[in-house]
Amino acid sequence: GQSLEQPSEVTAVEGAIVQINCTYQTSGFYGLSWYQQHDGGAPTFLSYNALDGLEETGRFSSFLSRSDSYGYLLLQELQMKDSASYFCAVPNYGQNFVFGPGTRLSVLP
Amino acid sequence: DAGVIQSPRHEVTEMGQEVTLRCKPISGHDYLFWYRQTMMRGLELLIYFNNNVPIDDSGMPEDRFSAKMPNASFSTLKIQPSEPRDSAVYFCASSLQGDTGELFFGEGSRLTVL
């Protein structure tokens, strides 16, 4: 089966950089996704890494190391609106995604 | 496209009542997923369909839960009878075939069973 680990909470100040780590154990690996969820909202897709390395999308970047079964989400120039929960997820033999427990990010003024 | 549409957004019911949650996926998407989210258990996959066919329902908690997808544009998740421990937010999501890593979630149905 699949299991993922993330820190439960992270706190940072506006303008700072924060990294949210994710380690996973899978019986077959296809890629690592990241989702953002604001309180009361739905998860929304941020990024997907199928290959090793860094993918950049604006202020957000995502990194994957398949040999280490590890990835992270990097958020730069933090804004108050980035306060949310962030989930890593891996496909379970294809399209069925298993989600990590989530990391609650609090951005302070 | 309007995105994934779920109804109702909120449902409050009494223990023992039947609950039906509805979902309209994004047109053209091949996969439909039902997830449940609680503080204790996080986001759990209940069941998913590919081209209207149930592929994996191992996450369905018990026989009280059932899901159908009679056509490509509609799915239901039914709980009968409901229990207080079923209280959660139920999300429907859809996706395209292929290695995109992206699920499109609806806004969720918040269920409270008293």
Q: What is the pLDDT along chain B (114 residues), one digit of tens a residue?
A: 689 999 999 999 999 999 999 999 999 999 999 999 999 999 999 999 999 999 989 899 889 999 999 999 999 999 999 999 999 999 999 998 766 778 999 999 999 999
Number of CB pairs < 8 Å for A and B? 53
8 Å CB contact between A99 and B42: yes
Q: Could you tell me the CA-to-CA distances from B113 to A12, A20, A53, B18 in Å, in that order? A: 37, 35, 45, 10
For residues A16 and A18, what is the distance between their CA atoms, to the nearest angstrom?
Answer: 7
Q: Which of B3, B62, B4, B63 lies closest to B33, judged by CA?
A: B4
Q: Closest CB to A31: pick one of B55, B101, B105.
A: B101
Is the pLDDT at A78 greater than 90, yes or no?
Answer: yes
Q: Which long-range CB contacts under 8 A does A39-44 form with residues at least 24 apart?
A: A39/A84, A39/A85, A41/B107, A42/B91, A42/B105, A42/B106, A42/B107, A42/B108, A43/A87, A43/A99, A43/B43, A43/B91, A43/B103, A43/B105, A44/B105
Contact call for B43 and A87, based on CB within 8 A: yes
Residues above pLDDT 70, as percent of chain A: 96
How far does the CA of residue B88 sit from the closest CA of chain A (Å)? 12
Q: What angle do CA B76, B27, B22 make, to 5 degrees?
A: 15
Q: Which tens digits make up the pLDDT trace of A84-98?
A: 999 999 987 656 789
B74 touches chain A (CB under 8 A): no
B108 touches chain A (CB under 8 A): yes
CB atoms within 10 A of CB B98: 9
For residues A27 and A68, what is the distance between their CA atoms, to the nearest angstrom?
Answer: 14
Contact call for A44 and B105, based on CB within 8 A: yes
Cα dihedral sign for A21, A24, A30, A36? negative
Give the residue numbers in A contacting B (CB under 8 Å), as ranges. Answer: 30-33, 35, 41-45, 47-50, 87, 91, 95-102
The nearest alpha carbon in chain A to B40 belongs to A101
Cα dihedral sign for B112, A86, A100, B34? positive
Q: What is the pLDDT of residue A36?
A: 98
8 Å CB contact between B78 and B13: no
Is the pLDDT at A41 greater than 70, yes or no?
Answer: yes
Q: Position of tokens 């996704």?
A: A33
pLDDT classification of A29: cutoffs 50, 70, 90 = confident
Q: What is the pLDDT of residue B98?
A: 65
